[in-house]
With several copies, the nearest count.
Chain A
Amino acid sequence: MNIDNIKKEFPIFSNKIHNNDLVYLDSANSSQKPLVVVNRIYDFYTKEFSNVGRSVHYLSVAATNLYEKTRSSVQKYLNAKDKNEIVFTKGATEAINLVASTFSQEFLQEGDEILLTELEHHSNYVPWHYLRKSKGVKINFAEIDEHGDISIENIEKKITPNTKMIAITHLSNVTGAILPIKEITQLAHSKGIPVMVDGCQSAPHMKLDMQDLDCDFYAISCHKMYGPTGLGILYAKKKWLDNLPPYQGGGGMINEVKKNDISYSELPNKFEAGTMATAQVIAFDESINFLNKIGIDNIISHEKKLLDYGEEILRKNNSVKLIGNPQKKGAVLSFTIDGIHPHDIATILDEDGVAIRAGHHCCQILHDKLGLTASARASLGVYNNKDDLDKLNESINNCKKIFNK
């Protein structure tokens, strides 16, 4: 599969938006879906549908096999040691809530500290914030440097003897900063602290190797990874999944149920209560196939070229200010324009068919720190090309014209 030609795998690009071609630069929000994935959903529902793991009839057995096949594909894609280290959730947000809730029940006490960073998405802050009330836990934030980057030193500074968990993003959805997870994990482990990584933004754009990163938890949203909505993945080392209590309770995650007590299933069922997102899991196998067919190395180099080009033209465009200039940067171009509010930019770009996002991107802490209430963000996917970035720039110029800038 040739990446330069990949747009044709995505049916949405044959539609017009306000009579313009769609220039989709909102993949950090959610990616478009290749036809193979949509077809898989269609075929599953029309030819093979059944619930998983609960009946012994043909369709159910087949669906169970398909469901577990995706688990194996994800294991391989993440280079996880064990298939049972892959838990399906409804999204990265649920995955992080699962970790915060179960980890705190088993391992946290009043006065313990969680270390986040100023880059974190609300989904990697609110679940930890809950523990302030329920457990009397304290939350610390490693600070960004002037490039919108987090150095290992700034992490180290905030570690105290009470730090019981480091929960950090792999790739910032605003500054694009790629954090040195492997080094952070080494540092943390040397102090006996587990590391939870918010991999939402990294997963579609970077090579993922759990055994190399050696992190304890890794949260992923499938809808940002060319997969269906309503599905996420929690990778967790087996020792954690074995020792954490279950999260939601319901059908499928129990061993024996009595009126006075309940015992729970083995992995992976223990953490998959109730009917899961069967069709979505099964279709996600096609997303993994799709990524594998292009090859992550090709994706990385394609997106790097685009990012460099995008930065180049936007830097040349006066009155556009890029946000963040980290050492290693991925797939995200956030910016402001003096005197034009990001919301107005986004609305006007939209008239030209250019879809970007404006707002705080669920990162209020970061925006506060940067002295902004909002920013504009163009983010990349495999299907983007230089044309898209040229159109972005053109449309920004239209916008400036309207506002007489």
Chain B
Amino acid sequence: MNLKELYQEIILDHGKNPRNLGKFENFNKDAKGHNPLCGDKVHLFLKLDENKKINDISFEGQGCAISMASASIMTDLMKGKNERQVKELISKFLEMIKEKDDIESNLLNDDEKTKLMSLGGVKNFPMRVKCATLSWHALSSALDDFQKKVTTE
């Protein structure tokens, strides 16, 4: 798959009509991601329960179609997942985006896999890898950070 095909399918759709866009009211955690090289920004909002299960998630951001689509697909996928599941999905996604050809996880159905793998085309474009992973890294640090707060409070 070349990048142009990529742009014609899932990414263009999610890029133009991102799901879960905008801040919702009763979030209890947020986290920012920033790519200094290109200026892409993402701001995640999360409603976590005490076990860090994601009850709700949304985002605001400015960036290219790939970073917007990635945030859109990710937020769709993460709703309702518990901490272990979130962490597994993040690490599977990062593996896939950096080196692997596909993604294996019991947590994903075929449709979800196809969506995620549409982002796999950026593998050979290090600059764009950062776009695709921006929101995922932000989510990861949001979870870690939430833990810290809980344990130190």
Contacts and interface: CB of A to CB of B under 8 A. Distances in A.
Direct contact of A and B (CB under 8 A): yes
Of the candidates A55, A340, A402, the one having the most CB atoms from chain B within 10 angstroms of its own CB is A402
Interface stretch (B3-11, B74-82, B85-93): B3-11
B110 to A, nearest CB: 26
A53 B125 CA distance: 11
Nearest to B131: A343
A358 B66 CA distance: 14
Nearest to A339: B16
Interface string A335-355: 000001111100110010000
B86 to A, nearest CB: 23
Contacts of A358: 38
Contacts of B63: 341, 343, 373
Interface in B14-30: 15-16
Contacts of B124: 61
Interface stretch (A28-36, A105-113, A236-244, A359-367): A359-367
Nearest to A360: B39
A64 interface: yes
A41 interface: no
Contact of B7 (A55, A359, A402): A402
A394 to B, nearest CB: 14
A61 B125 contact: yes
Given A56-B127, A61-B125, A343 B38 contact: yes
Interface string B84-128: 000000000000000000000000000000000000000011111
A289 B49 CA distance: 53
B125 A343 contact: no
B16 to A, nearest CB: 8
Contacts of B47: none
Contacts of A53: 37
A341 B66 CA distance: 10
A343 B128 contact: yes
Interface in A198-244: none
Contacts of B83: none
Contacts of B8: 402
A373 B127 contact: no
A255 B4 contact: no
Given A341-B63, A348-B7, A360-B39, A256 B125 contact: no
Contacts of A341: 63-65
Interface residue tally of chain B, by bracket? Answer: 20 to 34
A125 to B, nearest CB: 14
B8 to A, nearest CB: 6
Contacts of A55: 127
Contacts of A359: 37-39
Contacts of A343: 38, 40, 63-64, 66, 127-128, 131
A54 interface: yes
B39 A374 contact: yes
A276 interface: no
B126 A256 contact: no
A254 interface: yes
Contacts of A351: 2-4
Interface in B33-69: 34, 36-41, 62-66
B36 A254 contact: yes
A61 B125 CA distance: 6
Interface string A50-77: 0001111000110011001000000000
A61 B38 contact: no
Nearest to A343: B64
B71 to A, nearest CB: 13
A39 interface: no
Nearest to B122: A347
A403 interface: yes
Nearest to A364: B39
Interface string A247-268: 0000000111000000001000
In the A-B complex, the 6 residue pairs with the smallest Cβ-Cβ separation, listed nearest first, are: A373-B39, A343-B64, A341-B64, A56-B127, A359-B38, A255-B36
30 contacts: A56-B38, A56-B125, A56-B128, A60-B127, A61-B126, A65-B126, A340-B65, A341-B63, A341-B64, A342-B38, A343-B40, A343-B63, A343-B127, A343-B128, A344-B66, A347-B3, A347-B128, A348-B4, A351-B2, A358-B38, A359-B39, A367-B39, A373-B41, A373-B62, A374-B39, A402-B7, A402-B8, A403-B7, A403-B16, A403-B65
Given A68-B126, A343-B66, A359-B38, 20 more contacts: A56-B128, A61-B125, A61-B127, A254-B36, A265-B36, A343-B40, A343-B63, A343-B64, A344-B7, A359-B39, A360-B38, A373-B38, A373-B39, A373-B40, A373-B41, A373-B63, A374-B40, A402-B4, A402-B12, A403-B16
